[in-house]
Amino acid sequence: MKLAKLYTPQHRLIMLVALFLMATANLSFLHRLLDDYPAGLQHILFTGSVAALFTLATMWLLMLFCFGRGTRWVLALVLVLASVLAYFMDHYGVVVDQVMLVNLLQTDWREASDLYSLKLLTHVAITGLLPAWLLLRKPVHIERFKTEAISRLFSLATVSLLILACVLPFTASYASFAREHKEVRYYVNPGYFAYSVIKLASTSMESAKSATLTRTASDARHVGTHDKHELIIMVVGETARADHFALNGYPRNTNPRLIKQQVVSLKRVSSCGTSTAISVPCMFSALSRAGFQSGEQAARHENVLDVLKRTGVDVLWRDNNSDSKGVATRVKYEDFRHANTNPVCDPECRDIGMLAGLPAHIEQHQDQDMLIVLHQMGSHGPAYYKRYPADFEQFKPACQSSNLADCSSEEIVNAYDNTLLYTDYFLAEVIDLLKQYDGRFETAMLYVSDHGESLGEHGVYLHGAPYLFAPTAQTHVPAVVWMGSSFDYSSSQFKPLENIALSHDDLTCSLLIGYEIDSSLCRDRLAVFSQYLNRYTAMALTGTSSKAVQQQ
């Protein structure tokens, strides 16, 4: 067979597309590669080798999936998809991994619409749609199956040898690269996206094999008295970062109302994940962050809301976010994302609307313990300016675009801080509501955000970064506790705990202890809490781990 036949028009087209993708859709990858290996004689050959390696790897993958008449359509789809991915990586610094895919699958139209912009459409039109149209415009000659198959094997072998040729001269450097700079590969486009899709599909198939619900804290039983029933409102925050709370030392007064309340701000709380899809099911799970692999795994186990319901607590979940991510599947759930249920929409439905009708609900269940969970829209970006009414725009000028590239750093931070002002208002209103029932119930409020947010530090925006190298801004979250006069514990008792290292892992036992529910699941923590504060259940709402206490 002639050499020209070994490289058919299809193969040449695949190679051209792979080169085009590296040049136009991998700017974030190249930028981070050069950050780790600055330009210079000692690095130039190795960085060139890495860029060539991933270009060849893309060729190799495309040759596996592109065959016959479908080749052009597959390549066209890859071009458009890679263009979209490149835009979000280049402009927001996000990584589209397995967690981000789950986010995309669970994101509703409100959240998705905030990401659309003229710049996105222009970018995709130039680097995705136009090349795809040019590729589809002229048919490529298709060789006979036998000729194409032989050519494909030859091409795959050639590319494999070239990959080896890239690696062998730099084996020591690649060993270091794999160990010390593994996060760079997350930006390879579309290679890492394809890997994440396969991994997510594999995880989903594994979870589908086991649909049986595993019981959590099967020995749980109520051991307290019923002189007064517990009434606790837990607010699940959205995208709030701890270092922008005035309660935690932020120089701007983003908490003007909470500062006037007798609250305790827990200053060292870390999240379970960097996205709602992971953090929310994880924080209500007893699996802990180390044992929590996916939302599917959590779905196979009862969460703490199931345990509370089983032991007689009335649980209500009200949602002004996308949904409960499977947490409230077996408890009463109310959707407040629409004007037909939320009385405060302008047109965005506000978190404050979730308080409507709660007095009637409380009266209906006054003879039992109650937990009310309010899931905020909070500070969800990038359209921060939509997350608060105009009256709360105190920090100016505030970014008025969902395309953060249109705004300065100051404008982005101003808009974000305005969202926290609205959260402060909302939490203060929750406390005022609870004060009305302080004499009749043991009242308390617990607020904790699901994850934080990057605001452009080191070129990273939004959230959802892989936890392995996520910035602290995405994992250090605010948590605030308020307790009524009839509650078992006081603010003065809680005050010493504000600087203890806590995490979402502590929520399950926090709630069980708060409702005076005994279980072997939390006895080790109870012993530590008792020793630390000289009370049997002194960590009613925070449940710090024994390791954290021992480190103090």
**Measured between alpha carbons, how far is 187 from 432 in angstroms, rounded to an integer?**
47
Confidence of residue 25 (pLDDT cuts 50, 70, 90): very high
DSSP 8-state assignment for residue 202: H
pLDDT at 7 over 80: no
Question: Shortest CA distance to 490 belongs to which of 262, 231, 267?
Answer: 262
pLDDT at 113 over 80: no
Q: pTM of whole model > 0.85?
A: no
> Encoding tokens for residue 170?
């730099």
Strands 461-462, 476-483: pairing kind? unpaired
Instruction: State the average pLDDT over residues 422-426.
Output: 98
**Measured between alpha carbons, how far is 480 from 266 in angstroms, rounded to an integer?**
6
| Phi, psi at 38, each rounded to 5° | -55, 150
**Measured between alpha carbons, how far is 541 from 480 in angstroms, rounded to an integer?**
10
Question: Shortest CA distance to 314 belongs to which of 248, 230, 397, 235?
Answer: 230
**Cβ within 8 Å of residue 353, ≥6 positions away:** 320, 336, 342, 343, 344, 345
Instruction: State the average pLDDT over residues 106-128.
Output: 80
pLDDT tens digits along 370-417: 999 999 999 998 889 999 999 999 999 999 988 787 889 999 999 999
Q: Which one has a higher pLDDT value, 39 or 338?
A: 338
Q: Tell me the average pLDDT of the chain.
A: 86
DSSP 8-state assignment for residue 125: I
**Measured between alpha carbons, how far is 51 from 34 in angstroms, rounded to an integer?**
11
Confidence of residue 91 (pLDDT cuts 50, 70, 90): confident
pLDDT at 543 over 60: no
pLDDT at 183 over 50: yes
DSSP string, 219-283: T-EE-S--SS-EEEEEEEESS--GGG-GGGT-SS-S-TTGGGS-EEEEEEEE-S-SSHHHHHHHH
pLDDT at 542 over 50: no
Q: What pLDDT is stored for residue 109 in this prediction?
A: 64
Strands 314-319, 332-335: pairing kind? parallel
Confidence of residue 180 (pLDDT cuts 50, 70, 90): low
Q: What pLDDT is stored for residue 549 in this prediction?
A: 37
Strands 517-518, 461-462: pairing kind? unpaired
195: burial class by Cβ within 10 Å (0-12, 13-18, 19+)? Answer: middle
> Encoding tokens for residue 357?
């009708």
User: Looking only at Cα atoms, what is the longest distance across the chain?
Assistant: 92
pLDDT at 196 over 60: yes
Cα within 13 Å of Cα(259), Cβ side? 12
Torsion of CA 101, 107, 113, 116, to 10 degrees: -10
Beta-bridged to residue 477, according to DSSP, are: 269
